[in-house]
Amino acid sequence: MLEFEDVPELNDPVLIAAFEGWNDAGEAATSAVRHLAEVWDAEVVAAFDPEEYYDFQVNRPRVSLEDGRRTLTWPTTRILVATETGLDRDVVLVQGIEPSMRWRAFSIELLELAERFGVTTIVTVGALLADVPHTRPIPVTATAEDEAAIHRFDVEASRYEGPTGIVGVLSHAATESGIPTVSAWAAVPHYAGGAPSPKATLSLLRRIESLLGVTVPHGELEENARAWERGVDELAQSDEEVAEYVQSLEEAQDTAELPEASGDAIAREFERYLRGRDDDQTGR
């Protein structure tokens, strides 16, 4: 870890992390954390040594010109601190790229930093491509592994099985270390998964607001989300197959969200069916 400046003592800090790459469909997750860093005027206090965790042939350094001088920026993960957030606690933001190697060491180093800062809660943020329509609210699923965190944040238990990214590895390591951790994932329409995806970013921000009990200025995100949806509308209307596919996704989601499709409603309907059978048999 490369430190740039001394960090003041933080007040009950929460850590929010997002990473570019596999965990970041439409760049929705990293855009959400970047937005928080901007509106909270967060300052960079540390960064990972890129030599330890990144393959520069996969994530290449970038050359840019600043005031006529060439500068070189290496791929890394940066740690920022925000103390003016509207919360009664400070926030540590993690803006990074999914490491190319040594994920366990990376997670340990990040959690050691979190412990040093006194972090008491961790929120990891991700986005995935899914079969969802762009015309409906972007679904955001929040889960936790620890029973106490599930009840505290009123989220679902994590039941995912399959390949995972650094977000999953970090969330698991944080839970194992005893830090209450919740993970929020946005489902980005796979047929419109190119970056940026402001509608998904906005949905993630709203979920973070709900989890932390804070209101964040959205700036131009809401208008950008509407413009993005209009653009995808035009794309769908220009291709009959895409339009039909979007309609099928809409119908599937609307059916799944009907009150009569809920588990309780189905159970009640089944009970009525059984009572009706009893009445018929009694009538005979």
Q: What is the pLDDT of residues 215-267, one digit of tens each?
A: 999 999 999 999 999 999 998 888 888 889 989 998 888 887 755 444 554 45
3-class secondary-structure state, position 252: helix
Nearest to 7 by CA among 118, 170, 124, 122: 118
Taking the C-alpha atoms of residue 26 and residue 204, their distance in angstroms, rounded to an integer, is: 12
Taking the C-alpha atoms of residue 80 and residue 82, their distance in angstroms, rounded to an integer, is: 7
CB 48 within 8 A of CB 106: yes
Q: What is the pLDDT of residues 169-213, one digit of tens each?
A: 999 999 999 999 999 999 999 998 888 999 999 999 999 999 999
- Among 62-76, 132-146, 252-266, whose mean pLDDT is lowest? 252-266
CB 97 within 8 A of CB 34: no
Chain center to CA of 120? 19
- For 24, residues 6+ apart whose C-beta sits below 8 A from its C-beta are 18, 30, 126, 127
Question: Structure pTM?
Answer: 0.87
| Chain mean pLDDT for the chain | 89
CA distances from 127 to 106, 164, 234 (A): 21, 12, 24
Nearest to 227 by CA among 204, 206, 187, 196: 196
